[in-house]
Amino acid sequence: MMKNSGLRLLVATALFLSLAFPNPALAATVTFASPQTYSVGVGPWAVAVGDFSGGGGLDLAVVNYLTNTISVLAGNGNGTFGVASTYAAGGGPASIVANDVNGDGSLDLVVANFLSTTVSVLVGNGDGTFRPARTFQAGPSPAFAAVGDFNGDGKKDLAVANYYANTISVLLGNGDGTFGPAQSFNVAPNPQVVAVGDFNGDGKLDLAVPNAGSTLVSILLGRGDGTFQPPLTFDVGGYNPTYVAVGDFNGDGRLDLAVPTYGCFYYAPCPVVSHTISVLLGNGDGTFQPPLLFDAGSGPNSVVVGDFNRDGKPDLMVADYGPSTQRATTVALLLGNGDGTFQPPLFFDAGASPAFAVAGDFNFDDTLDLAVANYDGGTVSVLMGAISQQQVATPAFSPAGGAYASPQSVAITDATPGAAV
């Protein structure tokens, strides 16, 4: 687990940390400063955040798809970051998660290598450095890896989305940073991402998988022994779902889904309305209600859940990658109303082709900041958040209802970074 990082890390996929207030808070205005950019490798496609050195400040790890590398930027605790250190990954690293997979108290890195059949595990030394990557077979075209304890043995396991194989591979962990053989489970075509959560309230981890090139998200209910039931599919109301984030958006204690639909810019007409965030409210039994659609930019690719204005209601921050014909340069903030609906988006400059964003408190001011991977810019942008209302209470973090995997931050958008969609 993270050392001395407090509760300043917000994770994107399998865990939403709500901001619980001791007293009611007044409405507040959230703004973000102009982005500060840091050079990384070529084609930065995903970013993870965590305290890699145990010093209490948050650091960043970025996968660079076109150079097969990982860039690690040490945080200075004031919202700035040092020069990137570089580590080798596998072919086409497309997602990254920071988690303690060997139980030594230091964060490790897990990377899905899209142009190979493997995931890479870089064990952390606890001082901000990592050991050379070890690879484990996952399946064809692994696009995304998530971490959770799927068989209840207290050891971290992996779930990997294999894009062209139409499968999810589960690799059970040995507790020492190594993993057993992959077991595959069929899903709908083109699984893009894996999110982890207890969607039916039975205390066992389940999986949510958006299926690109369709309008579907697949739900695999866990049996608690490392295996999963055949998938249930739900229509998200938009074409080409590229990501899924989990949170309780209406405060009923049940897990809901937020799914960006990237759309289809070279197909006329597009099968359904797209370029939206689809919110599917959970029924608490593993099923979901029909989607609610919200505008989210020209080509939304990924989303992070957090309370950015500190009103106690979860908000959505969307990386707007943009269409193939004209990439975007912004992220979009949709403030939550607390009832499962969201306000119109507020846009903030980020960089060239924002592929993914993570949130965390990078300068110890109890307000969420952003780190954004800019695919065409070769950079990571850091946007410092600010709240205008002085009366807003200082938040305390607590897990929203349901069982979750351990904290993680991961990212993927298109099946092949930079490809025309």
Task: Output the 3-class SS for 155-205.
Answer: CCEEEEEECCCCEEEEEEECCCCCEEEEEEEECCCCECCCEEECCCCCCCC
Cα separation, 74 vs 76, in Å, equals 7
Q: Do residues 284 and 229 make contact, with C-beta atoms less than 8 angstroms apart? A: no
> What is the tens place of the pLDDT at every residue in 6-34?
333 443 333 444 333 334 445 578 999 99
Cα separation, 288 vs 199, in Å, equals 9
Q: pLDDT grade, residue 245 (50/70/90)? A: very high
Query: How far are the Cα atoms of 129, 171, 195, 220, 257 from residue 286, in angstroms, in the given order?
Result: 40, 23, 14, 9, 11
Give the position of tokens 């040092």. 82
What are the structure tokens assigned to 119, written together? Answer: 């995931």
At residue 263, the pLDDT reads: 82
Q: pLDDT grade, residue 299 (50/70/90)? A: confident
Give the position of tokens 């690293």. 93
Residue 185 has pLDDT above 60, yes or no: yes
Q: pLDDT grade, residue 354 (50/70/90)? A: very high
At residue 325, the pLDDT reads: 63
Cα separation, 153 vs 175, in Å, equals 9
CA 150 from chain center: how many Å?
19
> What is the tens place of the pLDDT at every residue in 311-353?
999 999 999 987 666 678 899 999 999 999 999 999 999 998 9
The total number of residues shown for the chain amounts to: 421
What are the structure tokens assigned to 194, written together? Answer: 């894996």
Q: pLDDT grade, residue 267 (50/70/90)? A: low
Residue 398 has pLDDT above 70, yes or no: no
Q: Do residues 63 and 70 make contact, with C-beta atoms less than 8 angstroms apart? A: yes
Q: Kindly report the backbone phi and psi dihedral angles of residue 31, in degrees, each rounded to the nearest multiple of 5, phi listed first.
A: -135, 165
At residue 298, the pLDDT reads: 84
Q: What is the mean pLDDT of residues 194-209?
A: 99
At residue 388, the pLDDT reads: 85
Residue 264 has pLDDT above 80, yes or no: no
Give pTM, 2 decimals. Answer: 0.87
Cα separation, 361 vs 370, in Å, equals 8
Cα separation, 246 vs 244, in Å, equals 7
At residue 6, the pLDDT reads: 34
Least confident of 208-217, 267-276, 330-339, 343-352: 267-276
Residue 73 has pLDDT above 60, yes or no: yes
- How high does pLDDT run on average in the chain? 87
- For residues 341 and 394, the model is more confident at 341
Residue 268 has pLDDT above 80, yes or no: no
Closest CA to 146 of 138, 37, 273: 138
At residue 17, the pLDDT reads: 40
Query: How far are the Cα atoms of 47, 103, 141, 193 from residue 190, in angstroms, in the given order?
Result: 22, 32, 10, 9
Provide the edge-to-edge strand list for the sheet that holds 134-137: 93-99, 108-113, 118-122, 134-137
- For residues 252 and 391, the model is more confident at 252
Residue 397 has pLDDT above 50, yes or no: no
